[in-house]
């Protein structure tokens, strides 16, 4: 556990020692601010506050997935790209601890990013009322969705030494999970229900947008996170003995 926390703390600091972390935060705040003003606040002041908050989480889910892909691109690919991966292999740290430590640093950075956007739903209080339970459920959904995408991104980062290729591979895997919904819509049962339930966003995130937390959705995102980290660990182990 100490090794995991040490790696996580070192990696989290690296996001703020370079421009990458600040660029990601600034880009997400700018894009989400534009989307929130255009599709939530700017679409009419006679809307219910809950609808505005729901629209915020709708647009923020897309920003979270894109940000998670870029946050995770450097986790393992940068080590191979910079030639420092041999130092990790020679250290008395297991591959699983390396993967989990780096993942936790990315998750902590994502949590900081999400916290930085909390003033947007709070702005609804200027003209209406909001349910803090709704806000909590929405942010929980964003964190779980981001966690799943970060795990997929960690796997993508483990598969290549190039950060650019890591972004491409991770994006393709995320898009594949997103399009499972449309595959399910055009398939026959029982395959249709299987594909629809594998979809990353459509079924599992929408309840969070409405302020509803289902155990099945929490388990789904945690399962995707586990599979992604498990795959990244196995890739790292295979490269160690190559």
Q: Give the N- to C-terminal CA distance of the chain in Å, as an integer.
A: 27
Does 131 or 188 have the greater pLDDT score? 131
Tens digits of residue pLDDT in 169-185: 999 999 999 999 888 87
b/e burial code for range 112-133 (CB count within 10 A of at least 16 → b): ebbeebeebbeebeeeeebeee
pLDDT above 60: residue 31:
yes
Q: What distance in Å separates the CA atoms of residue 171 and residue 218, rounded to the nearest whole number?
A: 22
Q: In whole numbers, what is the pLDDT of the chain averaged over residues?
A: 89
Question: Mean of the pLDDT values across residues 90-107?
Answer: 89
Mean pLDDT, rounded, for 126-140: 89
Task: Compute the average pLDDT of residues 84-109.
Answer: 85
What does residue 46 show for φ and ψ, rounded to 5 degrees?
A: -90, 5
Query: Which of 141, 170, 174 has its CA nearest to residue 154?
Result: 170
In this model, does residue 44 exceed pLDDT 60?
A: no
Distance CA 56, CA 223 (A): 26
Looking up tokens 């249709």 gives 192
**Residue 45 has what pLDDT?**
53
Nearest to 23 by CA among 62, 84, 59, 73: 73
| Phi, psi angles (nearest 5°) of residue 130 | -130, 155
Copy the structure tokens of residue 97.
């601890």
Phi-psi region of 151 (alpha: psi -120 to 50; beta: other; left: phi over 0): alpha
Three-point CA angle 191, 197, 200, nearest 5°: 125
Nearest to 208 by CA among 63, 61, 43: 61
Whether 154 contacts 75, CB under 8 Å: yes
49-65 residue pLDDT tens: 888 899 999 999 999 99
Residues in the chain: 242
Residue-wise pLDDT for 205-236, tens only, equals 999 999 999 999 999 999 999 999 999 999 98
- What is the spatial distance between Cα 99 and Cα 112, in angstroms, rounded to a whole number? 20
176-180 own/partner pairs: CB under 8 Å, 24+ apart: 177/152, 177/224, 178/202
Residue 85 predicted with pLDDT over 70: no
């Amino acid at each position: 556990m100490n090794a995991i926390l040490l790696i996580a703390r070192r990696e989290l600091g690296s996001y703020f020692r370079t421009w990458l972390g600040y660029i990601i935060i600034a880009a997400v705040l700018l894009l989400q601010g534009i989307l929130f003003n255009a599709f939530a606040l700017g679409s009419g002041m006679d809307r219910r506050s809950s609808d505005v908050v729901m629209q915020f989480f709708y647009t923020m889910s897309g920003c979270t997935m894109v940000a998670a892909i870029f946050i995770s691109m450097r986790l393992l690919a940068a080590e191979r790209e910079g030639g420092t991966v041999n130092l990790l292999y020679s250290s008395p740290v297991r591959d699983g601890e390396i993967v989990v430590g780096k993942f936790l640093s990315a998750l902590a950075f994502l949590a900081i990013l999400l916290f930085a956007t909390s003033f947007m739903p709070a702005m609804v209080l200027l003209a209406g009322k909001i349910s803090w339970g709704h806000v909590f459920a929405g942010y929980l959904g964003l964190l779980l969705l981001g966690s799943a995408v970060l795990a997929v991104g960690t796997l993508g980062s483990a598969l290549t030494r190039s950060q650019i290729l890591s972004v491409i591979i991770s994006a393709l895997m995320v898009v594949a999970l997103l399009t499972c919904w449309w595959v399910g819509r055009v398939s026959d049962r029982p395959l249709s229900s299987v594909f629809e339930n594998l979809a990353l966003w459509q079924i599992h995130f929408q309840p969070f947008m409405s302020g509803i937390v289902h155990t099945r959705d929490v388990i789904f995102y945690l399962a995707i996170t586990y599979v992604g980290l498990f795959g990244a660990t196995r890739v790292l182990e295979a490269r160690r003995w190559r």
